Chain A
Amino acid sequence: MSSQSNTATVTGINGPVVTAKGMSNFKMREMVTVGPKLLIGEVIILDGDKGTIQVYEETVGLKVGDQIQSTGKPLSVRLGPGLLKNMFDGIERPLTKIREISPVFIPEGIGLMNLDEEKKWPVEILVKEGDVLEPGDPYAQIKETEMITIKLMTSPEQAGTVKSVQPDGEYSINEPLIELETKDGEIINLDSTQDWSIRQPRPVKARLEPDEILLTGTRIIDTFFPLAKGGTAAIPGGFGTGKTMTQHQLAKWSDADVIIYIGCGERGNEMTEVIEDFPNLIDPRSGKSIMERTVMIANTSNMPVAAREASIYTGITIAEWFRDMGYNVAIMADSTSRWAEALREISGRLEEMPAEEGYPAYLSSRIAEFYERAGSVKTLNGEKGSISIIGAVSPAGGDFSEPVTENTKRFVNTFLGLDRDLAYARHYPAINWLTSYSGYIKDLGDWFDDNVSDEFIPLRNKMLDLLYREDKLQEMVMLIGEEALPNDQKWIINVAKLLRIGFLQQNFFDNEDMFVPLEKQYGMLQTIDHIYERGLEGLRYGIPSSELINADLNDKILKMKYTIPNNDLSQLKKLNQEIDDFYDALLRRY
C-alpha cells in the first residue's frame, strides 16, 4: 500500500477553500499540494470520495480539474537548529529565504521549506554505543545561540538501543548522528531534526502546578496581576489601547528562556519593528541580545488567511519542543482574535451553521485546546519545563462581551483588561486595575514569601484596596466636588494619585523605567505606603490636608521611578528619611 502517489482532482474553489473528488485514499488533516504551482494545503473534511482542503496560499489561478497530490504526512513543523533569531510564515517557511526568491512580495507556489539545510552546526553527542534511550531522551546538543543550547531528543514515539554514534563535530541538519535499534529490531538513523504534527500536543510525563512568577519588569503586572511560568494570560483591548506595545514589552523583558512571538493577522510594520529593535536590546539577566532567544512567526493581516489559522499551532508546537528540553518558554500571540476570525472566515466558506456573531460553534473548544497546551510540566526525560501563553485579544468595538473575549476569559487565569479612557489620557500601560485580575496570586504566595518578603502580598492587597476606594470616592467627587470631601478622603485621593502616576504608569521608553526589578517595585510601594501612613497620622494631629497634598515631597514620589536607579535602592531609604523629616517637622509645628 503506497500512500505517496494518491492524486485527486479539484472540483471547486472559493477563496482558500478547495473541494475535490477522488479523495477516498486521503487522510484527515493530511498535507497536500494543489494545482500546478503545488500550493500547500491541508485536508479538513472527507466525505466518501469527496473532500475539502484549506489552502495556505493565494488560490487565484487554480482551475477545476487541477491535480491534488497527497504527501502522506500530516501538516507538520520541522524542529531543529535554525529556529532562533529567525522569522517564519504561518507554516514555518523562513521569510529570509522567501526574500531570496522574491525580493519584495510573497508569491504563491514557492513550495515547502523550513530550516536551513546547508548550515553546519556544532554538534556534541551525549550518548555512546549501547546506551538505552527512552522516548524524549536527549542524544546530542547544539549551542545554537549565545543564550540557548538545544537538545536533540528522541521523538515521543522512539526508543531503543544506540547502535553507533558519529563523533562530535559540525553537521548539517540532515546528516545522521546516531543509529538506534528499536525493540522490533529496526534500525533508524537520527539526525538533528524531528517532524511533529502541529495539531498534536507533544506528550509530557506529568503536569505540575505553576509555582514560579514570570517576571516582566512591568510594575502593574508583577506587583498587582502577576503571571506565572506555565500560566495563561489574556490582554484584551480596543485599537489604540496598547496591546501590541504590551506584548512587545513582555517579549523584550520577561524572564522566560525562550520567546515565541506570533504576529497573527497584525501589521507588517510591527514585525519589521521587532526585527529592527530586538537585536539591539540587551537582556538584563544574561547580558546578551534578546534576539538570541526569540523565534518569530509572522502572518500579517494581508497574508493568506488559512495560514493565519495554522500560525498559532505552528508557534505552540515549536514552544513545546523547547519546553521538552527543560526551558521556560513564553508565547506572545498577537492577536488571537485574528486567529478566531480566520476560523470564522473558513467556516463561512464551508457553509457551516454559524453560532454567535458568525463564529463557528467550535470556537470555544478551539480556544480551550490552545490555552490548555500551556502549563508547567515534567517532560518525558524528567526535566521541568513550562509554556506560558499571553494572548492579545482585539474585541470588536472594544466591547469585552463579544465571543472571543468571553470564551478566552474562561480559559485564562490572568486577565489584563486594557482601557480606552486610560489610553486616551496617555496613562500607559493602559491596564485597568479595576477589571483586571490574576488567579496566580494564591499559587505564587509562597514564591513571594520566599523571594521578596512575606509582607509583600498584604501590602499589595492594601494598595489595591486603596485604589478601589479612590474609585468610589471619585464618583462622589463628580457629584459634590473634591473640596467638599473630609480630610482623610482627600488624602486617599492624593495617595491614589501617587500610586496611579508614580507606580502604575510606566514609561517603556525611559532607560530606567522600561524594566523594573521586583525589589524596586516593592520598595516603591513601601515608600507610598509610608507616606500614606505618616499622612494619616498627621491628619489625626489636626494638620490640614492641604499641607500634606501640596507638599513638594509628593512630586519626589511621583518621580522616584526616574530618579532612583534600579541598581541603587539605598536612595529609596533616603527618600523615606525625607518623608520622616518632613512629617516630624510638621508635627512639631502643630
Chain B
Amino acid sequence: MKKEYLKIDNINGSIIEIDDVDDVFYGEVVNIKEESSDEIKKGKVVKLDEDKATIQVFQSTTGLASDNATTVFTGKSFDIPESKEVLGRIFNGLGEPIDGGGNLYSGEEKDIDGAPINPISRQYPRNFVQTGISSIDVLMTLIRGQKLPIFSGNGLSHNQLAAQIVKQARLTGDNEDFAIVFCAIGVKHDDEQFFRKTFEEANVMDHVVMYINYANDPVAERNSAPRCALTTAEYLAFEENKNVLVIISDITAYAEALREISSAREEVPSRKGYPGYMYSDFASLYERAGMLKDSPGSITFLPILTMPNDDITHPIPDLTGFITEGQIVLNRDLEQQSIYPPIDILPSLSRLMKDGIGEGFTREDHQDLANQLFAAYSRVMEVRDLSQIMGEDDLSELDKKYMEFGREFENRFLNQSFDENRSIIESLDLGWELLTILPQTELNRLSPELIEKYLPKNTRYTVEAFNG
C-alpha cells in the first residue's frame, strides 16, 4: 500500500516540503493530486533530511495549499516507457503524449536520468557527416556521434541553420536507419511550428520524436524535457541501432530554469547566480551523445543556445563549450550584412574533425586548406582593424588583397542559400579558388605539392590580376 500524505508543509515556487515521511528514497517520484481537480502533478524527491522530504514539482504549483492536495510516493524513479512506437509522436516535457495518440505501452521503462557511459565502452567518432554547408563541412566538420552546439543570439538564424542541417545532413553512412529527436525547451510556438514544417517538408515526420515545452509551459518541466528526449535517443540509438540526431533548443531556457529551482532551494550561487553544479548538470545531458563499440547506432547532438547579450563568456555558452566537442558560433554583424548562415568561423571549432577528414574520408588537402583559410581570415580581421584607422586606400598592396579576400570569402564561401546543398568537393574547390586572390607566398600553411595540385591556375581573380 502506497502511503498518502495529506499535508504539504512548505511551498516555495516549484519546491515543496513534506514532513513525517517514512520509507521514502532519494530520487523517488511523487504524484500530487489537488482535491478540486483531476490533474496529477509529478514531482521528485531532491533532498531528504530526517523525516522531511524536499520535492521538486515538475508542473506549476499554482493553486496548491498546505491542506488541499494528496501526495503519493510512487516507489519508482522518474521512468518513461520506450518502444519503437515513439517515432512520429509528440510528448510534453514529462514524456506524456500531447498529440492525442494515446499512451505508449511498452514493457521497457527507462530512468530519464540515465547513467554515465563507461569511456571504455565508447567508440571514438570518426565518420564525416556532409551537411552541404561549406563553412561547416570545410572548417568545422560535423562527425557522426559528435556533440556540436550552435552558439547563437536572439533573433539570429540558428533555427534555419539547424533546419538546413536536418534536411541536408547525410547522417546515415552504411546504416540507413535514422531518427530525429527534437526537444523544445521554453520556445515560442512559432519556433516549434517552423521545425514541424521543416520536418514535414523534408518528409521525415515518421522518423521524428518531439518533446515540447513552450515558453508559457511550467518552468520545472524544462528540467525533465531534455532528459526524456535523450533517454529516447539512447533507446533508439543503442537498442534500436539507429543513427539519431538530437536537436535541443534552447539550452539557455534550460539553464534559467535550473537557476530558478536552485535559488528556490536556497543553494549557494556561483557565477551570475547559476548553481555551482551547472557544469556537472550540463555534462549529464551533453555526455549522453556518442557511439558505442558494440552498437551500430549513434547519437549526434546539436544543442542550440542563445548567448545572453551575445556574450560567449557568459556561463551558459562557457560551460557548454568546455563539455561539447566544439561549437558553431553565429555572428550578428554577418547576419546584418545578410550573410547566411552567419557563422563566425574564428571562434567556431570542431574538435573531432582532425580524425574524420583527410584522405580516405574527405580529401587529402582538407586539414591544411582549412588551416590556411582560418589563418587568412584571421589576418583579414587584423587588416580590417587597420583600415578603420588608416582608410583602405592607404593600406599596403598585400593588405588590400586581404581585404578583397575577406569580402569574397564572406559573400561566396560563407554565404549560401537555405536550399543550396554543396558537396564537400565543391566546397573545398571553392576554398582553393578564393585563395588565388592572395599571393602564393602568403600560403604558408600549404605544402608546395598541395598548391601545385589544387590551386587553380586560371580563375576570375588571377585573370583580373593579369589584366590589372
Contact = CB atoms under 8 A, between A and B. Distances in A.
A299 to B, nearest CB: 9
A12 B27 contact: no
Given A63-B23, A104-B238, A273-B124, A555 B444 contact: yes
B118 A99 contact: yes
Interface in A237-274: 238-240, 263, 265, 267-269, 271-273
Interface stretch (A205-213, A282-290, A478-486, A532-540): A478-486
Interface string B388-421: 0110001110000000000000000000000000
B447 interface: yes
Interface string A419-461: 0100011110000000000000000000000000000000000
B5 interface: no
B441 A240 contact: no
B385 interface: yes
Helix, strand, loop or mixed for chain A's interface?
mixed
Nearest to B25: A63
B318 A265 contact: no
B23 A104 contact: no
A370 interface: no
Interface residues of B, number: 78
B360 interface: no
A104 B118 contact: yes
A558 to B, nearest CB: 5
- The residue among B115, B271, B288 with the most chain A CB atoms within 10 A of its own CB is B115
Contacts of A40: none
A298 B395 CA distance: 52
Given A62-B25, A397-B313, A425-B375, A239 B117 contact: no
A95 interface: yes
Contacts of B215: none
Contacts of B367: 509
A19 B378 contact: no
B430 interface: no
Contact of B268 (A12, A63, A354, A559): A354
Contact of B123 (A61, A102, A272): A272
Contact of B279 (A99, A265, A562): A265
Interface string B259-285: 000000001111100011101100110
Interface in A468-501: 477-483, 501
Given A13-B26, A239-B322, A240-B326, A345 B280 contact: yes
B313 A398 contact: yes
Given A348-B268, A558-B444, A301 B280 contact: yes
A357 B349 contact: no
Interface string B281-296: 0011011101010100
B438 interface: no
Given A269-B122, A424-B378, A481-B395, A103 B321 contact: no
B120 A87 contact: yes
A351 B385 CA distance: 49
Interface residues of A, number: 79
B124 A269 contact: yes
B56 interface: no
Interface stretch (B43-51, B61-69, B217-225, B244-252): B43-51
Contact of A64 (B50, B385, B394): B50
A373 interface: no
Interface in B306-329: 313-315, 318-319, 321-323, 325-327
Given A477-B386, A479-B389, A95 B118 contact: yes
Interface in B354-380: 354-355, 367, 371, 374-375, 378-379
A11 interface: yes
B57 interface: no
Contact of B77 (A61, A106, A351, A420): A61
A64 B325 contact: no
B173 interface: no
B384 to A, nearest CB: 12
Contacts of B124: 269, 272-273, 276
Contacts of B374: 424-426
B292 A104 contact: yes
Contact of B118 (A62, A105, A263): A105
A103 B378 contact: no
A481 B117 contact: no
Interface of B: 23-27, 47-51, 77, 113-125, 238, 267-271, 275-277, 279-280, 283-284, 286-288, 290, 292, 294, 313-315, 318-319, 321-323, 325-327, 346-347, 349, 351-352, 354-355, 367, 371, 374-375, 378-379, 385-386, 389-390, 394-396, 441, 444-445, 447
Interface of A: 11-15, 19, 58-65, 87, 95-96, 98-99, 102-107, 238-240, 263, 265, 267-269, 271-273, 275-276, 298, 300-303, 305, 338, 341, 344-345, 347-348, 351, 354, 357-358, 394, 396-399, 420, 424-427, 477-483, 501, 509, 550, 552, 555, 558-559, 562
Given A95-B119, A276-B124, 11 more contacts: A104-B292, A267-B323, A269-B119, A269-B325, A300-B287, A302-B117, A302-B287, A397-B318, A481-B390, A483-B396, A509-B354
